Amino acid sequence: MNQPPDSTEASVLVTEAATVTLIDGTTFCVCAHSGDITPGGNHGLYFRDTRVLSRWELTLDGRRVETLSSQPVDACATRFIARRSKTAQGDDASLLLVRERLVGNGLRETITIQNLGPRPVTAALAIHAQADFAEPFGLDADHSTTHEPAKVTIADGTLLLRHRTDPSRGLSLTADTASDLTPDGLTWQIEVPARGTWTTEIVGLPIVDDKPVQPRFHRGEPISRTAAVRTLSTWRDNSTSLAADDSRLALTLTRTRSDLGALRIEDRAHGRAFVAAGAPWFMALFGRDSLLTSWMALPLDLDLAIGTLQALAAVQGRRTDPFTEEEPGRIMHELRLGSHSTAIAGQRYYGSVDATPLFVMLLAEAWRWGADETTVRALLPAADAALDWVRDYGDRDGDGFVEYQRTSERGLPHQGWKDVDGSINNAQGEPGQTPIAVAEVQGYVYAALLGRAELATAFGDEATAHSCRQRAETLRQRFNEQYWLPDRGWYAVALDGHKQPMDALASNLGHCLWTGIVDDEHAEQLIAHLGSTEMDSGFGLRTLATSMGAYNPMTYHNGSVWPHDTALCVAGLMRYARIPGAVETAHRLADGLLDAAAAFGGRLPELFCGFPREQYTPPVPYPTGCSPQAWASGAPLLLLRAFLGLDPHIPTGRITLTPRLPARWGTVHLDGLRLGPARLHLSATGDTAELHGTPTDWTVDIQQQV
């Protein structure tokens, strides 16, 4: 089944603000609704974290054409439809122009001009091309940054754009019809017969080490047969099919599936795939982002989790390097592919406090979902090294908590998921001094220790299991003693460098529910605060309560809404469904988030502003977020799993379901759900569920709501 998806699914890649993003692995294109890549901003064709085209503008008779529409074909391909602009003399616009663009280790663009009139038409067509070899991370920080243009040469019908200081890197441009090549691009003098057409195909191939890369397409090949589209189509065929009665949920799940497929990066050398953090700025392996997204995506594709774990284990810290913040056992924060990357400290950077325990959490969860035992055993040394890092490096002062403090001025000042300046503060809005021990990371460590203990028991290593459980229980007790603020009714968001509690009410505390570190005696008060109007914007959970000193709904982390953050809180609330108010709060937050998704055309953005729903509807976008973004794309899957109460334990042949679906959802269906060797069909409505296709020796426990 190598047919392209229908336009509803593919249209996921047309974002707000009339920007179009095409993605195939480490190749992506950001352009205007017209198809033009305009200079001076963040538009471009990017290959392995380098912008190989910074301008790609089409003119007809020296003028821009009049854009009619863009029609996505797939995640990596779109058609841009336009007509010749009318002149001052009022000439009729008889020429229809279609640009069919495909990306995949390069760019292929087919331009077709159709003459709808009764007379032949002549025209001058031009593609203006430039390259600056900028890197997307720097552009994200400062769109106004200027870069030296490429050196242009013309030889044998090829336009070559080369890096000025490294001529082994560049881009080659060729067309299949005769064109005039100039330093500005390609031009044609064309004549289109009455009721006839004219067409040309242009191919742009990145040059690495003086050699053009192998594209994932051929000249003249139908889009549905290209390697780029076939890879995504195969993944769709092998991943879980999702459907729902609720139109908001159905559209959002469709877009989630399409986006996560587009964000997959295949490591063909090792036969695995992992999920990139987001387009356009983070099309690379990121520890925290890729791990959390893979966890969320388990109902869709277990292999994403396995590939992400294997890829991160391969670059796990081996030595101590203050510049990159690498330490033995530490899981990497960011891997950039560009040969001259401007990532914070080179191609690999390790400044993350949470990726390391999240790695162990995901390994244990992938095993529960049916990951092959041989694969899991092969990753156990990496998990043990990660927990050694937690003890020997993460806990900087031996107090039992994991703290962060950068070891280089080039490093990130904050190394949890809220990683910008001023994102961790007290109720008065005052930032804390490092080293800082953020609350959610203690929860991650707790869950990681319990997960490793479970693996140890399964593999006959009771000594390790006992040690991990003992460490986890000690951490749980000390966390509830030192982080709980009885006068506030919530936990401190962090302990600062003086071990003083930072008393802001922040969404981080929802992550603590997710990991299970919260004592039942504190849960009801915490849940009430998370569900209050201070935290619930009406479109999801704010990152910071409105009563806090640093609250600003337009900031990155101090009052905005992050869909993945809301989803983790909902999963935490459902974990504590036995506590009064938990399920009702979870339903309300999820409903608000799905309403936001509908307002954004079914795609949840990385974040949006946290204004109250009654003040601004639809929600106000945040201007510079990624789209699509991995954990925002994965958030609806976590909502679905949380309300299904889907808890598989495939090594022992047990599946537990505790459905508590919101009434608005109606019935949901998961078809082809992969659990170990089985492919199952799951349907649920309200507090009832049916599961078909389980092996005869498995046990299915469908629990009723209590």
Q: Give rounded-to-5 percent helix, strand, coil for the chain.
A: 30, 25, 40
**Residue-level pLDDT at 571:** 98
> What integer pLDDT is reported at residue 92 of this predicted model?
60
Q: Is the pLDDT of residue 342 over 60?
A: no
Average pLDDT of the chain? 92
pLDDT digits (tens, 9 = 90+) for 126-176: 999 999 998 876 555 444 445 789 999 999 999 999 999 999 999 999 999
Q: What is the mean pLDDT of residues 581-606?
A: 96
For residue 178, what pLDDT band results from cuts at 50, 70 and 90? confident
Query: From CA 540, how far away is CA 386, in angstroms rounded?
Result: 33
CB proximity list for 228: less than 8 A, separation 6 or greater: 24, 74, 76, 77, 102, 103, 104, 216, 217
- For residue 91, the model assigns a pLDDT of 57
pLDDT at 431 over 50: yes
Question: How much is the pLDDT for 276?
Answer: 87
Cβ atoms 492, 439 nearer than 8 A: yes
Render pLDDT for 625-684 as a digit per residue (tens, 0 to 9).
Answer: 777 899 999 999 999 999 999 999 999 999 999 999 999 999 999 999 999 999 999 999
Which of 538, 672, 655, 561 shows the shortest CA–CA distance to 608? 561
pLDDT computed for residue 563 by the predictor: 98
* pLDDT at position 267: 83
Whether pLDDT at 601 is above 70: yes
pLDDT recorded at residue 26? 86
Domains and CATH numbers, the chain: 7-230 (2.70.98.40)
Lowest mean pLDDT among 14-28, 353-367, 375-389: 14-28
What pLDDT does 344 receive? 44
- How many CB atoms are closer than 10 A to CB 180? 12
Q: What was the pLDDT predicted at 146?
A: 55
Confidence at residue 213, expressed as pLDDT on a 0 to 100 scale: 96
How far is residue 294's CA from residue 308's CA, in Å, rounded to a whole number?
Answer: 7
124 Cβ contact list (under 8 Å, min separation 6): 60, 61, 62, 187, 188, 189, 190
Average pLDDT over residues 319-339: 88
> Would you state the pLDDT for residue 363?
98
Question: For residues 36 and 44, is the Cβ–Cβ distance under 8 A?
Answer: no
